[in-house]
Amino acid sequence: MNHSIHSADRATHRKIVVVALVAGIAVAALGIAARTNANYSETAQATHVIKAGKPVVVTSSGASEIR
């Protein structure tokens, strides 16, 4: 058994790559499966519209003045 990655042979490197690839695919699949199944077309229609208020002028003193 090789205890160092530098002295490992080609088969050991291949095993490490395969295990890392399988683990990455498993994490990605788990992340996709954990997603909520929200219907984005309905949520876009339910958003609230924010309208602009009265204009505000800010002076250099830090106080605000409303016209």
Q: Tell me if 16 is assigned to some domain.
A: yes
Q: Tell me if 1 is assigned to some domain.
A: no
18: left (phi over 0), alpha (psi -120 to 50) or beta: alpha
Distance, in Å, from the CA atom of 17 to the CA atom of 5, rounded to the nearest integer, reads 12
- According to the model, what pLDDT value does residue 12 have? 87
Q: Tell me if 3 is assigned to some domain.
A: no
Q: Tell me if 5 is assigned to some domain.
A: no
Number of domains into which the chain is organized: 1
What's the rounded mean pLDDT across residues 5-20? 88
- According to the model, what pLDDT value does residue 15 have? 92
Q: Give the model confidence (pLDDT) of 25-36 as tens digits.
A: 999 999 888 876
CB of 21 closer than 8 Å to CB of 29: no
Is pLDDT above 70 for 18? yes
- According to the model, what pLDDT value does residue 44 have? 53
Q: Give the model confidence (pLDDT) of 25-65 as tens digits.
A: 999 999 888 876 655 555 555 667 788 888 877 667 656 66
Q: Tell me if 44 is assigned to some domain.
A: yes
Q: Tell me if 4 is assigned to some domain.
A: no
Q: Tell me if 23 is assigned to some domain.
A: yes
Residues spanned by the domain of 28:
10-66
